[in-house]
């Protein structure tokens, strides 16, 4: 009897392990998107994102230093001057030296943090001299992209979540083994590598936010207002973001997928886009197509 129980237990354990390892290995890191058990910020693809990372770490280290110093002094004082060893409390009231120290030292720390932070914030806001300008409009619940200036000028389309992903989510499926789950779109935003891309951001209905963590960009999309941000991707590949302003019940279903292409591939993409557009126009109205040609 015990033998069968043992066997059953062993089978169950092996089964559970297989299931667990299957689940664990089923979902992999998504390059340009979230990684499995990710703790740090996503790898930087732009100079701005790199600067944000170093600022983040610099400030974390300063905060940790302050934490250790303040709590060190505090716990040392409590322990050293405890009542049980017969320590008598000091009776002084004011101390100019101490007051000066706790005013000047934090002031210097704040300045040390503010100088590089200001430099980065100013660089982040400098959207001048862009090679390509794209307007991104947030809608409930998709993104509209319109190429305004630079190569690709005139292209416009809407980017929505892949329908299959939507159906999986609607079905309430658990343990979905898709690396790009709820990040796959029908038409990604296509941009050239090493080019300054200015993104003009606005909202078509409610407030959304256009954000791509690997580029270090995040900008609210406000109806009736025009805001802008920029990035210069230094690597080709696929990069992902999501709407980052709670915009309604399907806020989780409006991902951003940016495809960074080499200059040649980008030019080819622009050409094919413009050709299909011309073909569509001539199919709908041959006379109009003739007049534009
Ligand atoms: Cu949104």
Q: What is the pLDDT of residues 25-58, one digit of tens each?
A: 578 889 888 899 999 999 999 999 999 999 999 9
Average pLDDT in the 163-176 region? 84
Do 119 and 229 touch, CB atoms closer than 8 A?
Answer: no
Band of residue 6 on the pLDDT scale cut at 50, 70, 90: low
CA–centroid distance, residue 145 to ligand 1 (Å): 14
Q: Comparing 8-22, 72-86, 176-190, 246-260, which segment has the lowest mean pLDDT?
A: 8-22
Q: Comparing 21-35, 134-148, 189-203, which segment has the lowest mean pLDDT?
A: 21-35
CA–centroid distance, residue 167 to ligand 1 (Å): 19
Which residues, 6+ apart, have CB-to-CB distance to 282 below 8 Å?
A: 288, 289, 290
Q: Which pLDDT score is estimated for 170?
A: 87
CA–centroid distance, residue 131 to ligand 1 (Å): 27
Instruction: List the beta bridge partners of residue 128.
Output: none
At 195 the three-state DSSP class reads: coil
pLDDT at 3 over 80: no
Q: Comparing 42-51, 65-74, 175-184, which segment has the lowest mean pLDDT?
A: 175-184
Q: Which pLDDT score is estimated for 21?
A: 47
pLDDT, tens digit, 9 for 90 and up, residues 252-289: 999 999 999 999 999 999 999 988 877 777 777 666 54
Average pLDDT in the 150-173 region? 91
Q: Which pLDDT score is estimated for 277?
A: 79
CA–centroid distance, residue 256 to ligand 1 (Å): 10
Q: Which pLDDT score is estimated for 280?
A: 77
Q: Comparing 130-134, 232-236, 279-283, which segment has the lowest mean pLDDT?
A: 279-283
- For domain 132-282, give the fold: Immunoglobulin-like (2.60.40)
pLDDT at 292 over 50: no
CA–centroid distance, residue 141 to ligand 1 (Å): 6
Q: Which pLDDT score is estimated for 4?
A: 52
CA atoms within 13 A on the CB side of 162: 12
Band of residue 220 on the pLDDT scale cut at 50, 70, 90: very high
Closest CA to 201 of 222, 231, 173: 222
Q: Which pLDDT score is estimated for 239?
A: 96
Q: Which pLDDT score is estimated for 279?
A: 79
Neighbours of ion ligand 1 (CB under 5 A): 208, 243, 247, 254
Closest CA to 199 of 208, 207, 211, 187: 211
Q: Which pLDDT score is estimated for 18?
A: 43
Per this entry, what is the length of the chain? 293
How is residue 98 written in tokens? 């101490």
CA–centroid distance, residue 142 to ligand 1 (Å): 7
**What is the residue extent of each domain of the chain?**
47-79+96-125, 132-282
Q: Which pLDDT score is estimated for 293?
A: 41
């Amino acid at each position: 009897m015990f033998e069968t129980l043992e066997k059953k237990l062993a089978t169950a354990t092996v089964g559970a392990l297989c299931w667990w390892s299957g689940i664990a290995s089923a979902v992999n890191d998504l390059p340009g998107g979230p990684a499995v058990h990710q703790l740090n910020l996503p790898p930087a693809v732009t100079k701005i994102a790199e600067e944000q990372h170093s600022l983040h770490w610099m400030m974390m280290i300063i905060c940790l230093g302050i934490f250790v110093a303040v709590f060190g002094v505090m716990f040392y004082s409590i322990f050293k001057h405890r009542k049980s060893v017969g320590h008598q409390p000091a009776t002084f009231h004011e101390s100019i030296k101490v007051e000066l120290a706790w005013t000047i030292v934090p002031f210097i720390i704040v300045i040390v943090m503010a100088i590089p932070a200001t430099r980065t914030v100013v660089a982040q806001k400098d959207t001048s001299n862009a090679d390509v300008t794209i307007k991104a409009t947030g809608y409930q619940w998709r993104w509209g992209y319109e190429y305004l200036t630079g190569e690709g000028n005139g292209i416009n389309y809407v980017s929505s979540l892949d329908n299959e992903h939507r159906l999986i989510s609607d079905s309430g499926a658990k343990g979905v083994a898709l690396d790009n789950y709820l990040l796959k779109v029908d038409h990604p935003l296509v941009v050239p590598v090493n080019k300054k891309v200015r993104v003009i951001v606005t909202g078509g209905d409610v407030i959304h936010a256009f954000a791509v963590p690997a580029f270090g960009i995040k900008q609210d999309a406000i109806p009736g207002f025009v805001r802008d941000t920029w990035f210069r991707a230094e690597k080709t590949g696929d990069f992902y973001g999501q709407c980052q302003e709670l915009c309604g019940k399907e806020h989780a279903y409006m991902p951003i997928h940016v495809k960074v292409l080499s200059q040649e591939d980008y030019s080819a993409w622009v050409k094919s886009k413009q050709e299909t557009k011309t073909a569509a126009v001539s199919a709908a109205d041959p006379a109009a197509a003739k007049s534009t040609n």
